[in-house]
Amino acid sequence: MTTAVVQRARHTGIEIRHARKCPAAGGGRCSCLPTYRASVYSKREKRTIRKTFHNLAEAKAWRADAQGAVRKGALTAAATVTLAQAASAWVAGASAGSVRNRSGDVYKPSVVRGYEQALRLRVLPELGAVPLAELGRPELQLLVDRLLAAGHGASTIRNTLLPVRAIFRWALARGEVALNPTVGLELPAVRGRRDRVASPEEAARLLAALERDHALWTTAFYSGLRMGELRALEWQAVDFESGVIHVRRAWDHKEGPIAPKSRAGLRAVPLARAVRVALMEHRASSGHSDGLVFGRGPGDPFNPWTINDRASRAWGRAGLKRITLHECRHTFASFMIAAGVNAKALCVFMGHTSVTVTYDLYGHLMPGGETEAAALLDAYLQRKESAV
């Protein structure tokens, strides 16, 4: 929008910018959609920092935050950096490990690749040339609306905004922006489906129907390892004497061995009897006790697509419903809950960063409904009454 009419708002440091033909030029009533340009002056650099907004409230909020940031030296009048340039720097830093996630952990290579793809396909074509400091919530909300109108699903849209949110969090910490415009966006609700969970009886039938890879699927069902952790599992990490599996690494299909998903991913998982027996039989039949447990050779892990396809055919012949390796992980969690393992212990065994994640994923499987709660309370009160 070309602006020729500039008015000073009642708030010092904010200009109201009208369209060229707006009646406001002659003191009349505004007929356009004006923008609001806020500015703060950096004495240190003797330069003015400006940012344009679509409403006065956002302009005021930015200016208040920017004034404080300038005083602290956290915001500078540095050369203009576009979103595309910031994205390139962020991806390079995340790939090298110098840019960390919110928990302070290195980003997994697959996450960085996913972020880079989302930026390249759906964000940068529209907003890449916009200066990072001038990109506001209205522009991002318009991007969300356009993606929704184009038929993209809610999950795709939310995943598209994840790298943008990470870039602004990174830029905010380094004083390149004063506000994170991804906060407060109206995003479509994601109605996620719950992953399939097999019962103990069904898991036994699924394992019995397998013609190959029995040890792998048994470990998936009864240890809860992620697929990348199963691919990277080495015999030296299986401690038969202590009865645990030490999860020390994962496998990325492009990078090879990598660290687990987070610091919590480094853990010891109890070695269930079924897993112990299956792994010992597998070791005896394979003829080796070093290297990858389920590898096709040294440094060559199993192909998950081949494994899933082979199992699906066997289950189809047996008339059983297929299950994925990831769903086996959820099944393991359900078994542990049913066995009475508390949420904190389950959090550790699953490699979650916090027990909140465990509750969010598996709270619906945990006991504690209204009927059970009432029964527990009644039993407690009866014990106290009988003791009087």
Q: Find the farthest-apart pair of alpha carbons in the chain and give their distance in angstroms, rounded.
A: 91
Same domain, residue pair 231 and 336: yes
Same domain, residue pair 159 and 289: no
Give the Cα separation of 267 and 245 in Å (integer): 8
Asked if residue 184 belongs to a domain, the reply is no
**Using one digit for the tens of pLDDT, what is the confidence trace for 98-143?**
999 888 888 989 999 999 999 999 999 999 999 888 888 889 999 9
Asked if residue 384 belongs to a domain, the reply is no
Same domain, residue pair 88 and 68: no
For 15, 124, 139, 219, 301, the CA distances from 52, given in Å and listed in that order, are 9, 20, 11, 56, 52
| CATH number of the structural domain spanning residue 237 | 1.10.443.10
Do the bridges between strand 35-42 and strand 47-53 make them parallel or antiparallel, or are there none, so unpaired? antiparallel
Mean pLDDT, all residues of the chain = 87
Asked if residue 361 belongs to a domain, the reply is yes
Give the Cα separation of 292 and 375 in Å (integer): 49
Average pLDDT over residues 87-102: 92
Asked if residue 360 belongs to a domain, the reply is yes
For residue 193, how many other CB atoms are within 10 A of its CB? 5
Give the Cα separation of 343 and 337 in Å (integer): 8
Count of the separate structural domains present in the chain = 3
| Residue-range definition of the domain harbouring residue 127 | 83-173
Same domain, residue pair 138 and 279: no
| CATH number of the structural domain spanning residue 107 | 1.10.150
Relative orientation angle of helices 325-338 and 304-317, to the nearest 10 degrees: 70
Relative orientation angle of helices 304-317 and 200-209, to the nearest 10 degrees: 100
Report the range out of 150-164, 287-301, 372-386 with the highest average pLDDT. 150-164
SS3 state of residue 180:
coil
Show contacts of 365-371: CB within 8 Å, 24+ apart: 365/197, 365/333, 365/334, 365/337, 365/338, 366/337, 367/337
For residue 108, how many other CB atoms are within 10 A of its CB? 21
pLDDT of residue 2: 44
Q: What percent of the chain has pLDDT over 90?
A: 50
Same domain, residue pair 341 and 224: yes
Would the pLDDT of 289 be above 60?
yes
Give the Cα separation of 201 and 218 in Å (integer): 13
Give the Cα separation of 235 and 217 in Å (integer): 16
For 68, 224, 253, 279, the CA distances from 351, given in Å and listed in that order, are 40, 9, 21, 22
Q: Choose the weakest-confidence range: 135-139, 234-238, 241-245, 302-306.
A: 135-139
Cα-only R_g, the chain: 28
Same domain, residue pair 344 and 209: yes
Give the Cα separation of 8 and 248 in Å (integer): 61
Same domain, residue pair 220 and 344: yes
pLDDT of residue 46: 74
Which residues are 307's β-sheet partners?
none
Query: pTM above 0.85?
Result: no
Q: Choose the weakest-confidence range: 25-39, 127-141, 169-183, 360-374.
A: 360-374
H-helix or E-strand spanning residue 17: strand 14-19
Give the Cα separation of 138 and 303 in Å (integer): 44
Asked if residue 377 belongs to a domain, the reply is no
